[in-house]
Amino acid sequence: MLVHLPILQVIVPLIGAPVCVLLSRASLVWLFALVVSGLSFIISVLLLQQVLMSGTIIYELGGWDAPWGIEYRIDKLSGFLLLIISAISTLVLFAAQTSINKEIPAEKHTHFYILYLLSLTGMLGVVVTGDAFNVFVFLEISSLSSYALIALGRDRRALWAAYQYLILGTIGATFILIGIGLMYQMTGTLNMADLAARLPEVAQTKTVLTAFVFVITGVCLKLALFPLHLWLPNAYTYAPSIVTAFFAATATKVAFYLLIRFTYSVFGVSFSFTALPLQFLFMTLGLLGIFVASIAAIYQTNVKQIFAYSSIAQIGYMVIGFSINSVTGLTAALLHIFNHALMKGALFLALGAVVYRIGSVQISQFQGMGQQMPFTMAAILVAGLSLIGMPLTVGFVSKWYLLSALIEKGWWPVALLILIGSLLTLVYVWRIVEVAYFKPPLSTHSTVNEAPLAFLIPIWLLVIANIYFGIDTRLSIEVAHSASESLLQAQRLVVP
């Protein structure tokens, strides 16, 4: 059984999705989806443990040898990502039933859980697989179900957001497909480890360079890296709250994983960072993303939109960590993936609780919420502080690592700009805090009280994780550090 964990990680939610149809009652479907997601969480914990103890796991599908058959390959980086995705998915799903009762018509509840599990399957599959074409297939499984999930939003603008996301997402995925095709043309293989071994021979050709450009552009579209972020704000704002919480914490992380996987493992550091001025490009785009998105966030009146723009800014931090191309820099980026998932999971779930109680996330409706929903607002406050990077929260840890990586390289101006960017975060978080705590409650909200426990439990688990991993950083840093160390040391995956 333990040997088959890598495939079970994907198969369990994949089989779970259609089984939902057979269950008649919506609450039963919810329980089932929760169990399925919980099972994937347990599997990912076991996998990460195994990877940390005995190194990379290689699983050959159907017993076919690697370059011919599809291989699943789990190293520290994938193990880390699997844990984040399945943990967030399970926590978010805990609040799902309560939330979608208010936001989605009853006859669509079963469909919601099916799509949710399919989306989870896709994300886990992208991370688990060691085959380039498999990445495309899983990416599309996750994307197609996410377009449908976003379209479930109550506002009609959700439909438009989903359509826009579909067009851009498909262009991104097709770019990745073209890139993979060009790589196959040059090397005759689709296995990532095999590609890494064969690409250096043909690295000087224009075809490989073209393949690289296509793959990177496609991934950046999915990642919503500035200026390819246009699909993200509306998609996150108008999707059902549960969907936003799930995607904000996981979907862009998967794309970021692909960016690291393709540049470090498949093409190799020496090729990736010399073929294109990646360092300069990503540093500039990351900084621009931080400033443009943070300033845009300040001017929004919809709190969900504020945090959607903030997500684009946070991607900027990750990309900067990536572009430094050192162990510390990569550690900072990986830490920020983990920490950002904790923050945004908590924030968007808390916003889901607000929607549940007052039906709106316009900032004007937040007046006096600090008194009426004290636990929810306190969660937004703590997660917001974490977003800014206050000491004793996780946000501080990843920013600290990012700054020390920059200072290691002597890039003071960039470090300074990042600090200024954090101040912008303070501005938009403060706007919400001010309205919620320093204004009297609206008369129309006199009956509003605290969110139900179904919300509070996952929200506060995430908030406590925000504080816990901000103080006791051993686990997250150890995994992130050793993952980035092995990525940089190996330069590319070693062929077995």
Partner 1 sequence: MLMGLFNNWVVVVLMMIGLYIVIAHGNLIKKIVGLTIFQTSVFIFYISMAKVDGGTAPILMANVTKYANPLPHVLILTAIVVGIATTALALALTVRIKEAYSSIEEESIQEQNTKQASERDELDSRSEQY
**Cβ neighbours for 24, distance < 8 A, ≥ 6 positions apart:** none
Binding status of residue 137 toward partner 1 by CB under 8 A: yes
387/392 Cα distance (integer angstroms): 12
Give me 42's structure tokens.
Answer: 């347990």
Residue of 131, 2, 4, 9 lying closest to 79 (CA atoms): 9
| SS3 (DSSP) at 246 | helix
Q: What is the dihedral of CA 169, 170, 174, 180, to 10 degrees?
A: 50
Q: What string marks each residue from 314 to 353 as x (binds partner 1 by CB under 8 A) or -?
A: ----------------------------------------
Binding of partner 1 at residue 156 (CB under 8 A)? yes
* Look-up of token digits 């997402």: 169
Instruction: Identify the CA nearest to 84 among candidates 47, 44, 26, 43.
Output: 44
Options 23-31, 363-371, 454-462, 463-471: segment touching partner 1 (CB under 8 A):
363-371
Among 11, 60, 111, 163, binds partner 1 (CB under 8 A): 163
Kindly tell me which of 160 and 291 has the beta carbon lying closer to partner 1: 160
Kindly state whether residue 54 participates in binding partner 1, applying the rule CB under 8 A.
no
Instruction: Return the structure tokens found at 391.
Output: 């000491």
Angle at which helix 303-324 crosses helix 241-260, to 10 degrees, equals 10
**CA nearest neighbour of 131 among 202, 183, 206:** 183
What are the Cα distances from residue 177, in Å, to 63, 135, 192, 452, 458? 26, 9, 14, 45, 37
In the bound complex, what is the minimum distance in angstroms from residue 38's beta carbon to partner 1?
28
Nearer to partner 1, 443 or 489 (CB): 443
Amino acid at 311: S
Closest contact distance (angstroms) between CB of 225 and partner 1 is: 19
Name residue 131's beta-bridge partners. 191
Does the footprint of partner 1 cover residue 362 (CB under 8 A)? yes
Nearest distance from C-beta of residue 439 to partner 1, angstroms: 9
Question: By CB under 8 A, is residue 148 in contact with partner 1?
Answer: yes
Residue 185 sits in the site that holds partner 1 (CB under 8 A)? yes
Least distance from partner 1 to the Cβ atom of residue 145, Å: 10
Instruction: Check residue 144 for interaction with partner 1 (CB under 8 A).
Output: yes
Q: Which of 279, 280, 256 is nearest to 336 (CA)?
A: 256
Choices 37-45, 351-359, 364-372, 460-468; region in contact with partner 1 by CB under 8 A: 364-372
Binding map of partner 1 across residues 190-219, x = CB under 8 A, - = no contact: x-----------------------------
Supply 296's token pair.
């845009």
Instruction: By CB under 8 A, name the one of 162, 315, 349, 403 that touches partner 1.
Output: 162
Binding segment (CB under 8 A) for partner 1, from list 94-102, 149-157, 258-266, 275-283: 149-157
Residue from 27, 274, 364, 449 in contact with partner 1 (CB under 8 A): 364
Residue 170 binding partner 1, by CB under 8 A: yes
Backbone φ and ψ for 100, nearest 5 degrees, come out as -75, -15
* Out of 92, 104, 135, 151, the residue judged to bind partner 1 by CB under 8 A: 151
CA max distance for the chain: 71
Q: Which is closer to partner 1, CB of 216 or CB of 477?
A: 216
**Residue number with CB closer to partner 1 (163 or 273):** 163
Interaction between residue 371 and partner 1 (CB under 8 A): no
Q: Give the C-alpha separation, 9 to 121, whole Å.
A: 8
Q: CB-hemisphere CA count at 13 Å for 357? A: 26
Asked if 363 interacts with partner 1 (CB under 8 A), we say yes
Q: DSSP string of 137-170?
A: HHHHHHHHHHHHHHTT-SSTHHHHHHHHHHHHHH
Q: Which structure tokens are listed for 283? A: 């540093």
- Minimum distance from CB of 109 to partner 1 (Å)? 18
Distance CA 439, CA 80 (A): 42
| In the complex, least distance from residue 331 CB atom to partner 1, rounded to whole angstroms | 35
Candidates 169, 427, 418, 426; CA nearest to 316 is 418
Regarding 10 and contact with partner 1 (CB under 8 A), the answer is no
Q: Does 293 bind partner 1 (CB under 8 A)?
A: no
Count of residues in contact with partner 1, rule CB under 8 A: 35
Among 159, 269, 281, 295, binds partner 1 (CB under 8 A): 159
Select 154 or 409, whichever has its Cβ closest to partner 1.
154
Q: How many CB atoms are located within 10 Å of the residue 274 CB?
A: 12
Task: Identify the residue among 24, 54, 443, 446 touching partner 1 (CB under 8 A).
Answer: 443
Neighbours of 51 (CB within 10 A): 22
Smallest separation (angstroms) from partner 1 to the CB of 172:
12
If binding is defined by CB under 8 A, does position 446 make contact with partner 1? no
CA 263 to each of CA 11, 155, 192, 201, 485: distance values in angstroms, whole numbers, following the listed order: 28, 39, 11, 17, 15
> By CB under 8 A, which span of 11-19, 20-28, 437-445, 457-465 interacts with partner 1?
437-445
Binding residue (CB under 8 A) for partner 1 from 27, 49, 301, 449 = 301
Write out the residues near partner 1 by the rule CB under 8 A. Answer: 133, 136-137, 140, 144, 147-148, 151, 156-157, 159-160, 162-163, 166-167, 170-171, 173-174, 177-178, 181, 184-185, 190, 301, 362-365, 367, 442-444
